[in-house]
Amino acid sequence: MNEEREVKTDGDMKLYRIGELAKAAGVSERTIDYYTKLGLIKPEERSLKNYRLYNDETLNRLERINQMKQEKYSLEEIRQTLIKWNSVAGEEHVTDKLTSLEMHMQRLEREVNELQPLLGQLKPVQARKLLTGLLPQSAACIEALKYLLEHSSMM
C-alpha cells in the first residue's frame, strides 16, 4: 500500500495524516500539532515513514473541540471535559450522544443565566403573559433546567 495516498485504510478504519486530518476538520496542521502536544488528540499509530496517523474518532473529537471553542471554553476546560467524557463510556456512540447532550445543556444553562436578570426585572403581569405563551413542553423543560441548576452544586 502506498503511504503517500490521501487516506490510508486499515481494515474498516480510515487513517489520516496530519494534512488530511487538518483539511477534513477545517483547521491548520499547526493546530493538529498543538492539540497533539496538549493531549487533546492523539495519533492512532505511526506509519513506516513515521507519519502520525489519526482515525475518524479524532476527526469527531476535533469537531467537539471546535464546538466548545465556539462556546468560549478555554483549552484547559476542553481538556478536562474530554477526559471526563472519555471516562464515562468507552462506547463511541454513547460518548458522542453524551457529549452532544452535555454541550447542549451547558449552552442552555448559559442562556438561562443570561435571562435570569432580565426575568427578574419583569412585572408579575409581564412574566405571566410571557409564560402563558410557552408550550407546555417548553415550560416543563425550563422547570427541569431550573431544578438542575439549583441542585447541580449537590452533584
Rounded to an integer, what distance in angstroms lies between the CA atom of residue 76 and that of residue 145? 26
Amino acid at 68: M
pTM, two decimal places: 0.54
Cα atoms in the 13 Å half-sphere on the side-chain side of 64: 27
Residue 25 CB coordination number (10 Å): 22
Rounded to an integer, what distance in angstroms lies between the CA atom of residue 110 and that of residue 13? 37
Amino acid at 58: T
> Which pLDDT value is given to residue 30?
95
> Which pLDDT value is given to residue 36?
92
User: Scanning the structure block, which residue is given the C-alpha cell 498543538?
Assistant: 34
> Which pLDDT value is given to residue 22?
94
Question: Minimal CA–CA distance to 44: which of 25, 18, 77?
Answer: 18
pLDDT tens for each residue of the chain, 155 residues long? 344 344 444 455 789 999 999 999 999 999 999 999 998 998 989 888 988 999 888 888 898 898 888 888 889 988 888 887 776 655 666 666 666 777 777 777 777 778 778 777 878 888 777 767 766 777 777 777 777 767 665 54
Query: Alpha helix locations (H) across 39-74?
Result: 56-70
Residue 36: enclosing H or E segment and its boundaries?
helix 29-38
> Which pLDDT value is given to residue 20?
93
What residues are paired with 8 via a beta bridge? 15
> Which pLDDT value is given to residue 95?
65
How many degrees, rounded to 5, is the angle at CA 131 between CA 133 and CA 100? 90
> Which pLDDT value is given to residue 10?
47
> Which pLDDT value is given to residue 105?
77
